[in-house]
Structure 1
Amino acid sequence: MKARNANTLAALGLALSLSVSPLATAAVQPLDRVVAVVNDEAIMSSDLDQRVSQVRQQMQSRNIGMPDQGELRDQVLSRMITEQIELQMAERANLSVSDSDLNQAMRGVAQRNNMTLEQFVDRVEQEGMSYAQVREQVRRELLITQVQQRSVASQVNISDREVDQYLKQAGSNANVQYHLAHILIAVPQAPTPQQAEAARKKAEQLRQAITSGQAKFQEVAAAQSDGPQALDGGDLGWRSGAEMPSIFDDVVPRLEKGEVSEPIRSPSGYHLITLLDKRGGGNADQQREQIRRTLFQRKVNEELEAWTQEIRASAYVDNRLKQDDGTAP
């Protein structure tokens, strides 16, 4: 599976515990409070504050419009809850990350940011974090990747017939790549007709706001999307046809640059897709192994989305931030 900590320092963000020394009582300190309970573990307001700060830096560096404070905190906490469930699964499975694997991963992070490890350490400190904190973030990312590998990727196989079928269907578009962004309005598992209709109406309202010029796609994604890329403005990056979710196959090739799709139904909810750019084409003679890899990643992504909903539904989650209407503590 692709590592999820591939691009920027800020993308490494996992919840970090903040400790307050009991001896530092010279000034009155506001009490920390629980903003969510995940099974038998708590996420504290201080954890959420630090993560929100990291996400803000990331969004600003990418020029993504900032949601209001309540929406941003809701989005960040939702991601932290999912991560906490995955880390608990890793603990139950006795998974671990060796020092050598962690050191290799840190060198890889530095290289992907076009830095030496020493330069990377300096940048971390300039952004107000310690190298030890970043190492812990990466360690947790690696644990989550192991959980996803064991639970999802290890169950996925691509047959020769699937490769043949893709090449036959893609034809001259086999090597076309699309730069996409995505908004998901989720529905619960086994939704009632009322829940499904409410999600569809919300997706249509968001599409209308975007197409009428009242809102930008990235800003709506960051504020409203239930997808894992929400805080990246919904950006899915460059993907070939084989790397796209199969439900987009008939829609994306017909989109014009900047156009937003009608709501697309999937078991997870309703999707809005916009085409940011397009490149390639005309070369269907791709190597079979490359097609196999891209088809594999597409299937993993589809299965991972459903799996994430399942583990969220099976866990005990008490989101206390929503009880406070999303306001800051």
Structure 2
Amino acid sequence: MKAGNLRNPRLAPLLALVMALVLTPLAHAEVKPLARIVAVVNDDAIMSTELDDRVRQVRSQLQSRNVPMPDDSELRHQVLQRMITEQIELQMAQRANLSVSDTQLNKALRSIAQNNDMTLDQFSQHLQKQGLSLGDVREQVRRELLINQVQQHEVAGQVNITDREVDQYLQNAGANANVQYHLGHILIAVPEAPTPQQAQAAKQKAQQLRERIESGKASFEQVAASQSDGSNALDGGDLGWRSGAELPTVFSDVVPDMSVGDVSQPIRSPSGYHLVKLLDKRGGGSADQQRDQVRRRLFERKVNDQLEAWTQEIRASAYIDNRLDEHGNTAGSSQ
């Protein structure tokens, strides 16, 4: 039995990003440098002006969440990696003739406006005052909805949860079935078939990052934003609240034994090495809703387990020419 639609792991951060932009004044007189190609993704190019705009948006988002700002070059690399993955997914959407209706777009935009305590008309007027247009925001949301459709078709649509799986989880979880965890996450990815040297290098990097966090040299959120390969990196690694059933399989044996504030040792999975921080912990919902909640959460856990592996697969099969150097500049650029 299918448990339902995949909740887009990037749509909620996008809505938060848009809200951060609404509340952040922009420099209207800024002079933009000459556009350069920063990456080629199959037949498409990502321009430096697009990257600059996206980095500016992510900075606003991080500031609104009080996440310490990563190094500029690290942030540019992180944002570009996200943009490359999105471009591949959008190309898949185009090949599959996927589309987003005006009704879907308007519903998403109304949600953004309501989260800002505005009507859609008020939201549009406020965007204009900030140097933004409703059309630009509509395009951002349209892209995210298309990406969600691709993920739904390629990953979530292939996931099924049986009654037996629900029964087994409830039996194993016992009194902890409704416990929820607020988690932070850092992923150091490895290739699809890593050599022993590549796996060891990723493990050492994860250990070094953990030591950096534990020593107080950087916060978990700052390290996630600058170093993590996970889809939530630019949100400071915040995975939000999850029940035990929603935990990725590789975390389920570790997180329940952690105390609030703990950062795990590196955890191995096919995707790489993970660091998990337990930000908070609380009781779950009512017993009457338990079975439906477990079915939905088991579904989401399966999807999350498969999503990062799928992302690596589509990147491995694409032609990608990343032209940023170690300082976050393109060849011949003096940014």
Structures share fold, TM-score greater than 0.5: yes
Selected match of 1:177 from 180, 192, 197: 180
Selected match of 2:121 from 118, 121, 126: 118
Tell me how far apart the structure 1 counterparts of residues 192 and 287 of structure 2 sit (CA, whole Å).
39
SS of the residue 2:11 aligns to: coil
What is the aligned partner in structure 1 of residue 200 from structure 2? 197
How far the C-alpha of 1:169 sits from its partner, in A, is 1.1
Q: Which amino acid aligns with 2:219?
A: K
What is the aligned partner in structure 1 of residue 28 from structure 2? none
Tell me how far apart the structure 2 counterparts of residues 111 and 134 of structure 1 sit (CA, whole Å).
15
Tell me how far apart the structure 2 counterparts of residues 315 and 63 of structure 1 sit (CA, whole Å).
35
What is the aligned partner in structure 1 of residue 189 from structure 2? 186
What's the CA shift string for 1:218-239, capped at 9, x where partnerless?
A: 1111111111111111011111
Selected match of 1:232 from 235, 242, 257: 235
- Contact 1:34–1:43 under 8 Å retained in 2: yes
Tell me how far apart the structure 2 counterparts of residues 282 and 82 of structure 1 sit (CA, whole Å).
35
How far the C-alpha of 1:140 sits from its partner, in A, is 0.8
Counterpart check, 1:326 vs 2:328: yes
Return 278-287 or 57-66, whichever deviates more: 278-287
Return 181-190 or 114-123, whichever deviates more: 114-123
- Contact 1:124–1:130 under 8 Å retained in 2: yes
Tell me how far apart the structure 1 counterparts of residues 14 and 101 of structure 2 sit (CA, whole Å).
23
What's the CA shift string for 1:240-284, capped at 9, x where partnerless?
A: 111110111111011111111000000000000011111116976
Output the aligned Cα RMSD.
2.0
What's the CA shift string for 1:120-141, capped at 9, x where partnerless?
A: 2234334432110000111111
Runs of 4+, deviation exceeding 6 Å:
none
The structure-2 alpha-carbon separation of the partners of 1:152 and 1:9, relative to structure 1 and needing over 3 Å to count, comes to closer
Percent pairwise identity: 69
- Contact 2:13–2:235 under 8 Å retained in 1: no
- Contact 2:243–2:284 under 8 Å retained in 1: no
* Matched ranges for 1:12-161 at <5 A: 30-161=33-164
How far the C-alpha of 1:103 sits from its partner, in A, is 1.7
How far the C-alpha of 1:11 sits from its partner, in A, is 3.2
- Contact 2:183–2:279 under 8 Å retained in 1: yes
Alignment length, in residue pairs?
Answer: 314
Tell me how far apart the structure 2 counterparts of residues 29 and 179 of structure 1 sit (CA, whole Å).
40
The structure-2 alpha-carbon separation of the partners of 1:298 and 1:234, relative to structure 1 and needing over 3 Å to count, comes to same
How far the C-alpha of 1:106 sits from its partner, in A, is 1.6
How far the C-alpha of 1:285 sits from its partner, in A, is 5.8
What is the aligned partner in structure 2 of residue 255 from structure 1? 258
Tell me how far apart the structure 1 counterparts of residues 138 and 156 of structure 2 sit (CA, whole Å).
25
SS of the residue 1:167 aligns to: helix
Tell me how far apart the structure 2 counterparts of residues 105 and 112 of structure 1 sit (CA, whole Å).
11
Tell me how far apart the structure 1 counterparts of residues 308 and 15 of structure 2 sit (CA, whole Å).
24
How far the C-alpha of 1:115 sits from its partner, in A, is 3.0
The structure-2 alpha-carbon separation of the partners of 1:90 and 1:64, relative to structure 1 and needing over 3 Å to count, comes to same
Tell me how far apart the structure 2 counterparts of residues 237 and 281 of structure 1 sit (CA, whole Å).
14
How far the C-alpha of 1:107 sits from its partner, in A, is 1.6
Q: Which amino acid aligns with 1:320?
A: R
SS of the residue 2:39 aligns to: strand
- Contact 2:11–2:145 under 8 Å retained in 1: no
Return the TM-score normalized by structure 1. Answer: 0.90
The structure-2 alpha-carbon separation of the partners of 1:127 and 1:263, relative to structure 1 and needing over 3 Å to count, comes to farther
Tell me how far apart the structure 2 counterparts of residues 12 and 309 of structure 1 sit (CA, whole Å).
27
Return the TM-score normalized by structure 2. Answer: 0.89
Tell me how far apart the structure 2 counterparts of residues 282 and 43 of structure 1 sit (CA, whole Å).
45
Q: Which amino acid aligns with 2:186?
A: I
What's the CA shift string for 1:145-175, capped at 9, x where partnerless?
A: 1111111111000000110111011110111
Counterpart check, 1:162 vs 2:165: yes
- Contact 1:8–1:113 under 8 Å retained in 2: no
- Contact 1:260–1:274 under 8 Å retained in 2: yes
Runs of 5+ consecutive residues of structure 1 not aligned to the other structure: 14-27
Return 261-270 or 210-219, whichever deviates more: 210-219
Tell me how far apart the structure 2 counterparts of residues 215 and 7 of structure 1 sit (CA, whole Å).
23
Tell me how far apart the structure 2 counterparts of residues 245 and 168 of structure 1 sit (CA, whole Å).
18
Tell me how far apart the structure 2 counterparts of residues 227 and 123 of structure 1 sit (CA, whole Å).
33
What's the CA shift string for 1:8-30, capped at 9, x where partnerless?
A: 645359xxxxxxxxxxxxxx974
Q: Which amino acid aligns with 2:131?
A: G
What is the aligned partner in structure 2 of residue 22 from structure 1? none
